[in-house]
């Protein structure tokens, strides 16, 4: 298993190197001078010279690339061209909110999606299957921002069951160590702060996780339906094995590979869809910061965001590959 993990880690290196090359070429392929494109209307001669010196745009191209990679390895992603703040410090302040929201949405999608897909896959064509499939189709076609507004209007405004916005109640004093509010509450044993952070995540987590939930349901249903028709499953039933053993050892374990792949792919979609959800619920995540960076062509921020997403995707794919080896030992051998 260790050799399997090491091989997968080695495959991450060319992916990250290729991405660094693409980002390096992209910033230098902008029309006109890169510094002038980054600064836009604020491109004074002094500001252009400062950007050229900061990013080494006057050096030879190969030297620029190695300087660029060296700064990335040191964790130096440059400064925002809008306010001059270090990009990495701003990300560590705001990115935890996006990660926390995405994790809550993914947890919601997995906890409900796999059981619902399993029940539908075991009863293909039945009334329960028709209800689950129809509901999942509705979840796929419903826009995230519309569902977020609807949930906020019904459950926060009218029924007053959940908070309307933000990540925590301002009246609760909490100690923030990592900026992951739930984790901080657990670390410091401030249980009221941890529970308050969880309550604030429920509505936005449901809104963001509905589309992944519907996709996971449909993929699980299809996988379970395929496995239920296999000869080894029918043989297990004919031998009189315990149905619980058949479900867990023969059906679910063999149906999980496409489901795990789908869960891994949904991670990136959650991070991108969090922008709209954060806007509706006024969560101070990276969404609004990224929107402002796009509109004002703040390329250091965009580069950092792309690299963070790529790193998260690579880690998630590594976890997916490792889970393949755990679920099906034949993957490790191959």
Per-residue pLDDT band for 111 (boundaries 50, 70, 90) equals very high
Mean pLDDT (the chain, rounded): 80
Looking at residue 313, what is its pLDDT? 79
* Tokens, residue 189: 């044993």
1 pLDDT more than 70: no
28 vs 122, more confident: 122
DSSP string, 82-149: TT--BHHHHHHHHHHHHHHHHHHHHHHHHHHHHHHHHHHHHTTTSHHHHHHHHHHHHHHHS-HHHHHH
Neighbours of 178 (CB within 10 A): 11
Q: Helix, strand or coil for residue 287?
A: helix
Rounded Cα–Cα distance for residues 281 and 145 (Å): 10
Looking at residue 231, what is its pLDDT? 74
Per-residue pLDDT band for 334 (boundaries 50, 70, 90) equals low
Segment 185-214 mean pLDDT: 89
Looking at residue 38, what is its pLDDT? 66
Question: Taking phi first (over 0 means left), then psi (-120 to 50 degrees means alpha), and beta for anything else, what does residue 166 get?
Answer: left
DSSP 8-state symbol, 42: G
Question: Taking phi first (over 0 means left), then psi (-120 to 50 degrees means alpha), and beta for anything else, what does residue 84 get?
Answer: left
8 Å CB contact between 108 and 206: yes
For 147, 200, 274, the CA distances from 164, given in Å and listed in that order, are: 14, 8, 16
**Range name among 27-31, 240-244, 260-264 with the lowest pLDDT average:** 27-31
Domains of the chain with bracketed CATH? 2-73 (no CATH), 94-333 (1.10.3720.10)
Rounded Cα–Cα distance for residues 95 and 89 (Å): 10
8 Å CB contact between 266 and 316: no
295 pLDDT more than 60: yes
């Amino acid at each position: 298993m260790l050799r399997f993990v090491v091989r997968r880690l080695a495959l991450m290196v060319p992916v990250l190197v290729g991405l660094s090359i693409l980002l390096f070429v992209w910033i230098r392929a902008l029309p006109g001078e890169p510094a002038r494109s980054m600064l836009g209307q604020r491109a004074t001669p002094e500001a252009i010279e400062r950007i050229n010196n900061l990013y080494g745009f006057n050096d030879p191209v190969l030297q620029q690339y190695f300087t660029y990679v060296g700064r990335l390895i040191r964790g130096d992603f440059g400064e925002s061209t809008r306010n001059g703040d270090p990009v990495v410090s701003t990300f560590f302040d705001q990115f935890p909110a996006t990660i926390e929201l995405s994790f809550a949405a993914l947890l919601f999608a997995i906890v409900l999606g796999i059981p619902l897909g399993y029940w539908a896959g075991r009863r293909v064509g039945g009334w329960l299957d028709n209800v689950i499939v129809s509901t999942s189709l509705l979840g796929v076609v419903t826009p995230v921002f519309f569902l977020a507004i609807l949930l906020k209007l019904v459950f926060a405004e009218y029924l007053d069951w959940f908070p309307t916005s933000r990540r925590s109640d301002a009246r609760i004093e909490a100690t923030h160590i990592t900026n992951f509010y739930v984790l901080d509450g657990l670390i410091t044993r401030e249980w009221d702060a941890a529970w308050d952070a969880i309550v604030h995540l429920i509505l936005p987590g449901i809104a963001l996780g509905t589309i992944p939930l519907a996709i996971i349901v449909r993929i699980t249903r299809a996988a379970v339906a395929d496995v239920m028709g296999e000869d080894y499953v029918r043989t297990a039933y004919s031998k009189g094995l315990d149905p619980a053993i058949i479900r867990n050892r023969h059906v679910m374990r063999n149906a999980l590979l496409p489901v795990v792949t789908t869960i891994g792919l949904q991670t990136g979609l959650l991070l991108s869809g969090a922008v709209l959800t954060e806007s509706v619920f006024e969560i101070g995540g990276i969404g609004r910061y990224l929107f402002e960076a796009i509109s004002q062509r703040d390329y250091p921020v965009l580069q950092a965001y792309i690299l963070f997403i790529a790193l998260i995707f690579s880690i998630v794919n590594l976890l997916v590959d490792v889970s393949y080896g755990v679920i099906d030992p034949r993957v490790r051998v191959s």
